[in-house]
Amino acid sequence: MNKFEIFNETKEDIVEIKEINKLLEFALKYLKVNKVIFNVIIVDEEKIREINKNYRNKDSVTDVISFALEDDSTFIKTNFRVLGDIYICLKRAQDQALEYGHSFLRELSFLTIHGLLHLLGYDHMSKDEEKIMFELQERILDEYGIKRESI
C-alpha cells in the first residue's frame, strides 16, 4: 500500500487534482512500487521561487522541484520508503500548457510524474539518463491515457 497526499497551497480551485490522484496510483502500480510515502504540493510562483532560492541557490521561478529523501545518506528506516516531496508551481504549469499547446491536465500530469521519477532516483543529468527518464514518463502518461495532444 502506498500513501501520498496532494496539497493545494494556492488560492485557486484545481479540479484536476482528483485525476492526478488516480494517475499517481496508476504510475506506482505501473512502476511496481509499493510501500512508499510522499507528498505533492502545488504552490504559487512566490513560494517556488523561495524554495528554489533557498535550496538550489537559483533565484528564479521553476515548474517543479523534487526533494528526494532517499538521496540523503541519513535516510529514515521505516516499513515504508519515505520518498519526499514534489513541489509544482501552478502558474508555470498553466503557462506551459498554453505554450506547448496541450491541456492543463496534461502539463500537471507531466510535472507530477516527472517529480515522482526524481523521487524514485531517476535523473536527466546525462543524455542517457534523460532518454531513460523521459521515455518512461511518456510511457506512463500514454498508458494512463494522457497523450501528448493539442487542445
- Beta-bridge partner residues of 37: 3, 82
Q: Does an H or E element contain 7, and which?
A: strand 3-8
Helices 45-56, 90-100: crossing angle, 10 deg rounding: 100
The pLDDT score that the predictor gives to residue 62 is 95
In order along its 151 residues, the chain shows pLDDT tens digits of 899 999 999 999 999 999 999 999 999 999 999 999 999 999 999 999 999 999 999 999 999 999 987 655 445 566 788 899 999 999 999 999 999 999 999 999 999 999 999 999 999 989 999 999 999 999 999 999 998 765 5
The pLDDT score that the predictor gives to residue 45 is 97
Measured between alpha carbons, how far is 24 from 128 in angstroms, rounded to an integer? 25
The 3-class secondary structure across 48-90, one letter per residue, is HHHHHHHHHCCCCCCCEEEEEHHHCCCCCCCCCEEEEEEEEEH
The pLDDT score that the predictor gives to residue 71 is 54
Q: Which CATH superfamily is domain 3-144 in?
A: Metalloproteases ("zincins"), catalytic domain (3.40.390.30)
Residue with cell string 526524481: 118
